Structure 1
Amino acid sequence: MSDLSKRRLKLWIRLLGVTRGAENHLRDYLRREHATTLPRFDVMAALWRRRDGVTMTELSRMLLVSNGNATAVVDRLETDGLVRREAEDGDRRRIRVRLTPEGLSRFETMADGHEAEVDAIFARISDDDLDSMRDILSRAARAE
């Protein structure tokens, strides 16, 4: 292995560490401050972006999870009155899921806090650093 190859490997390990650390912090924040989980937050975020609702298959694809995983999270959110399922065009086989008014309000409160936590996690990164990192990560994504 070349020196450059080893440095790239170390970068990959560092990126994973930063990502996992940030994710763990956010999981803890959501649990402590909002009595919820990151998967529930992610489902609500997807539904917030698509106010007209999505099918369970669309939701699974958006979140890159199995239909079973998405269904389990939606079941709990529905029990809590945060989402509702509706038959699409009267077809009971196609179900659309959307946030309830309470779910919308709760998500927006969580999202504000989530954004503040992410801002705090990365507070030491300057505006110029963010631009550089975005460019670097864009180049890395195009290399796939």
Structure 2
Amino acid sequence: MTTSKDRLRLWLRLLKVTRGIEARLRDALRREFETTLPRFDMMAALSRHPEGLKMSALSGVLRVSNGNVTGIADRLTAEGLAERVPVPGDRRAMMVRLTDAGVAEFTRQAQAHEGWIDDMLGDFSADEARTLATRLMRLAETQDKEEMTNAL
């Protein structure tokens, strides 16, 4: 068998596993927290930036359109989990950040999420998980460099 066929097979298996894990996470978030994976992802991004993020930056971090971000931010704000704050020096721009209630809710969800992932990937030793994560991170960095080159 050729190397390219082995790599194609690897890609297809990565895709299948990723889609399966994502489906299980979506289901668990819906059942246990009555939320969605995009809402969880937005709260995760905001949790890493306690000062908040501009909507455009949030779109970039999540790699989704501004419209998608706006809708999710609207719902989180309506539920008291996030708030919009003005950007100093820019009257038109707003930042979104988690409220104290949002931080508390995300903490609950993140703990459950970590447990679910731990269960799903429990067949990997810590060393295997670190090695695979490092290899995939290098692959992602290569892809990011190629995207930047192609954008020029």
Q: TM-score, normalised by structure 1?
A: 0.92
Q: Aligned residue for 1:93?
A: 92
Q: Aligned residue for 2:22?
A: 23
Once residues 24 and 70 of structure 1 are traced to their aligned partners in structure 2, the CA distance between those partners, rounded to angstroms, is 21
Mark the runs of 5 or more structure 1 residues left unpaired by the alignment.
none
Q: Aligned residue for 1:81?
A: 80
- Across the two proteins, how many residue pairs are aligned to each other? 143
Quickly say closer, same or farther: Cα 1:53–1:9, change in 2 above 3 A.
same
Quickly say closer, same or farther: Cα 1:129–1:83, change in 2 above 3 A.
same
Mark the runs of 5 or more structure 2 residues left unpaired by the alignment.
144-152
Q: TM-score, normalised by structure 2?
A: 0.87
C-alpha RMSD of matched pairs (Å): 1.6
Alignment of 1:1-144 (within 5 A): 3-89=2-88, 91-141=90-140, 143-144=142-143
Once residues 134 and 86 of structure 1 are traced to their aligned partners in structure 2, the CA distance between those partners, rounded to angstroms, is 36
**SS in structure 2 of the partner of residue 125 of structure 1:** coil
Q: Could you say which structure has the greater relative contact order, defined with CA pairs below 8 angstroms and 6 or more residues apart? A: 1
Once residues 101 and 142 of structure 1 are traced to their aligned partners in structure 2, the CA distance between those partners, rounded to angstroms, is 34
Once residues 71 and 77 of structure 2 are traced to their aligned partners in structure 1, the CA distance between those partners, rounded to angstroms, is 10
Shift of 1:141: 3.5
Once residues 124 and 102 of structure 1 are traced to their aligned partners in structure 2, the CA distance between those partners, rounded to angstroms, is 35
Once residues 141 and 87 of structure 2 are traced to their aligned partners in structure 1, the CA distance between those partners, rounded to angstroms, is 38
Once residues 16 and 41 of structure 1 are traced to their aligned partners in structure 2, the CA distance between those partners, rounded to angstroms, is 21
